[in-house]
A = this chain, B = another copy of it.
Amino acid sequence: MKKSIITFQNYPSIRSFSAIAGKKESDGNMGKYFDRIEEDPYFGQKNWEQAETEMQSQTLNLALQKGAMTMQDIDCITAGDLINQCTVSTFAARGTDVPFLGMYGACSTMAETLLTSGILIDGGYCQNVAAVTSSHFSTAERQFRFPLSYGGQRTPTAQWTCTASGAVVVSAEKGFPRLEGGCIGRICDLGVKDATNMGAAMSPAAADTIFRYLTESRTPPEHYDAIVTGDLGNIGSPLLIELLQKQGIDISAVHQDCGSMMFDENQQDTHAGGSGCGCSASILCAYFLPKLQDGTMKRILFCATGALLSAMSAQQGETIPAICHLVEISGSMA
């Protein structure tokens, strides 16, 4: 079999990270872990898109601040989001004077930017690279689904786009947590057409990437404290477990899904869980990276998943292709 995973030789470190989330997210299971909560969904701006831009910008600045860095220490920003033409990320980066690589991987963006940042560091092209992404309930809802004021009913399989952002500074400095390697996702499309059931559409992509990584790295699932998927949610997660079991791999003991972790199922009406680029990005930065830093966890696979549809592709009757990028991250105790 052709090698399709990436193994870093120089172990890019995670020098700093931060997560900012909105009010509803702060009321969920992850509420106490975020660096900052913003009660105002407009983030002090005039429209939703500006709000998300402001959130993403604040998150990167907070990561710099936490790492005692300034924008001048950053050689490149890798970023993306869900909004048409990725304007949230480009608008957040304008004015920074930092070289910028725009990426599109839908909700897989945090893993795509993190892996790309790792490559830029590991290959010796940069000293410090920021990987950033975000999502906002209101920008996503009105772009992909309904006008906000319409108040459309949500199906039981629907997920709730999180208002959240995560930023990671990957560095050539030695340290922990660090990136061990990763896997660039392949596009999988098993024919799901229901745009309100993205967990089902994304689970085959997650299975494909995780299978390739575990097989090629010759590591069993138990080698990791957690195999973290992006936002498969309550519908997609059991499908992932089942798909991998059919291939002889049982990740059920170590699997955690950010979409399922975000909200309180009993108290919050979010149906199949959270979604959006910011969902897995903020939980990585708020929950998992601190655990790798303090030694509570030794090693995780961060596997963010993205559904590569658009409002138009859904209207044109297309099925939903999906992708899952993976990054292996280890802590100081690994």
A binding-site residues for B, Cβ under 8 Å: 2, 4, 6, 47, 49-50, 72, 75-76, 80, 82-87, 90-91, 93-106, 112, 116, 119-120, 122-125, 183-189, 308-313, 316, 318, 321, 323
Contacts and interface: CB of A to CB of B under 8 A. Distances in A.
A106 B63 CA distance: 28
Nearest to A212: B99
A228 B116 CA distance: 27
Contact of A100 (B80, B99, B185): B185
Contacts of A101: 103, 105, 112, 116, 184
B119 A186 contact: no
A6, A122, A313 pick with most chain B CB within 10 angstroms: A313
Report the 4 A-B pairs with minimum CB-CB distance, sorted nearest first.
A123-B123, A99-B184, A85-B310, A102-B104
A186 B101 CA distance: 9
Contacts of A84: 84-85, 310-312
A102 B103 contact: yes
Contacts of A6: 125
A72 B2 CA distance: 9
B49 A90 contact: no
9 contacts: A76-B184, A84-B85, A85-B106, A90-B323, A91-B313, A98-B186, A99-B184, A99-B185, A122-B123
A90, A103, A105, A106 pick with most chain B CB within 10 angstroms: A90
Given A47-B316, A125-B119, A99 B310 contact: no
Contacts of A96: 187
Nearest to A93: B187
A80, A124, A308 pick with most chain B CB within 10 angstroms: A308
Contacts of A316: 47, 49-50
A104 B91 contact: no
A240 B122 CA distance: 35
Nearest to A319: B94
Given A49-B316, A102-B112, A112-B101, A87 B310 contact: yes
A287 to B, nearest CB: 26
Given A76-B184, A80-B104, A99-B184, 17 more contacts: A2-B72, A50-B316, A82-B85, A84-B84, A84-B310, A86-B104, A86-B308, A87-B308, A87-B309, A90-B187, A91-B308, A91-B318, A94-B189, A100-B186, A101-B116, A102-B112, A116-B116
Contacts of A310: 83-85, 87
Contacts of A94: 187-189, 321
A316 B189 CA distance: 35
A124 B8 CA distance: 10
Given A75-B4, A103-B103, A308 B90 contact: yes
Contacts of A83: 310, 312
